[in-house]
Amino acid sequence: MKNLYVISGATGMTGSELVHQFLKTGDTVLGFDNFFASSIDTVEDVVGNPAFVFHEWDLDNSEHMASLKKEVLSLKEQHGKIVYINCAAVVHTEHFYEVEHTYTTNVVSMRAFLQQAVEVGAATFINCSTSEVYSMQSWNDHGGVKEDDFLVLATAEHSQRTSYAVGKLMTEFFMKDAVDKGLIKGCSIRFANVYSKHERFAKHIIPHIINQFIQGGGNVTLLENSKTNKRTFLHNIDSCNAVIELINSPDALDGTVYNVATDEEISIVDLTRTIAKKMGIEKPEIVFEGYRASDPERRLLNTDKLRSRTHWKPQVSLSQGLDLCIASIK
């Protein structure tokens, strides 16, 4: 019998790739999105697929969520396992600082979505969290931060951005509590710097650099932070593979947290030069302007736990992922 996957943020980076993956296996997907950070373009090729039911709904809208619950219950008897996946989040960098917005979507609405999953008898709930919870301490000298390392939400009193991290951290407690009480199986995932060829707005660093080069020839403007910052980048194909691996690993669905990241660390300056070379720009001109407070110099996550409990490992190298992004934006 086919499974039913209920996905919030279904047209975003992670959600849209999951839609395509589940449809390939012959399962049914009931997805919704409010297009805050995406568009229907990411799933346009499957909109006519009878196994894909999509609504322009908002996770924060109680009437929309009541309609969702009714629809899930109407489909329940036709399917085997019901899996809820919360991909919805306030993810644009400038919105990290809007406390009310991040709290409503990332905390209140996530909790209601989890409660709905329990009420309809879903077997599994996957909570997409963020590596932002590690804040300024998101690296160390021992191969990256682990899930059980102490969290230090540095400068919380000085940066409203920390509200985003704290909100996502709260969702992890909701997830663990529901599993510990035997209400549902599931886990939380801390993704690190997910990117995709489907990013509609140049808000994240990779599409920002590509768009700047397209618009300004060989010129790109970066924050002052970029002089020292390093990052690893996780392609959405690999982030989604982690979700699928965890869903298919019952023993791993213990309510705990899993890091998902790559080991390919690169400085933002070298990333810029790499993209320039791939676009045929031999001597890029980099201008440094502006500064972002509470921005960690590194974000390096240890993924031993995920690799030991599932068969996951990254499939898309940074070079391959950049080629996909450049081809899609050009």
Mean per-residue pLDDT for 100-104?
80
Query: How far is it, in rounded angstroms, from Cα 272 to Cα 285?
Result: 10
Distance CA 59, CA 245 (A): 25
Nearest to 152 by CA among 172, 128, 132: 132
Q: Mind listing the pLDDT tens digit for each residue in 12-61?
A: 889 999 999 999 999 999 999 988 777 888 899 999 999 999 999 999 99
Task: Answer whether residue 242 is part of any domain.
Answer: yes
**Host domain of residue 26:** 4-195+234-263+300-315
Q: Cα(302)–Cα(144) distance, rounded to whole angstroms?
A: 5
Asked whether residue 48 is assigned to any structural domain, the reply reads yes
Statement: residue 99 has pLDDT above 70 = yes
Is residue 159 in some structural domain? yes
Instruction: Please give the share of the chain, as a percent, with pLDDT higher than 90.
Output: 70
Q: For residue 117, tell me if it sits in a domain.
A: yes
- Is residue 105 in some structural domain? yes
Helix segments in the chain, DSSP class H = 13-24, 62-75, 99-103, 110-119, 162-180, 205-216, 236-247, 268-278, 304-309, 318-329
Q: What pLDDT sits at residue 286?
A: 95
Name the range with the highest mean pLDDT among 9-13, 39-43, 169-173. 169-173
Q: How many domains does the chain have?
A: 1
For 45, which DSSP code? G
Report the pLDDT averaged over residues 73-78: 96
Q: pLDDT of 225-259, one tens digit each?
A: 999 999 999 999 999 999 999 999 999 999 999 99
Q: What is the pLDDT of residue 158?
A: 62
At residue 85's C-alpha, the angle toward residues 174 and 249, to 5°, is: 90
Q: Give the per-residue pLDDT at 104.
A: 86
- In this prediction, residue 127 carries a pLDDT of 97
Q: What angle do CA 242, 247, 251 make, to 5 degrees?
A: 105
Q: Is the dihedral of CA 196, 199, 203, 209 positive or negative?
A: positive
Residue 54: inside a domain: yes
Is there a domain that residue 216 lies in? no
The amino acid that residue 39 corresponds to is S
Mean pLDDT (whole number) for 258-283: 96
CATH of the domain at 162: 3.40.50.720
DSSP H helix total and E strand total for the chain: 10, 13
Instruction: Summarize pLDDT for 308-324 with one digit per residue, the tens.
Output: 999 999 999 999 999 99
> Do the domain assignments include residue 208?
no
Mean pLDDT of 60-74: 97
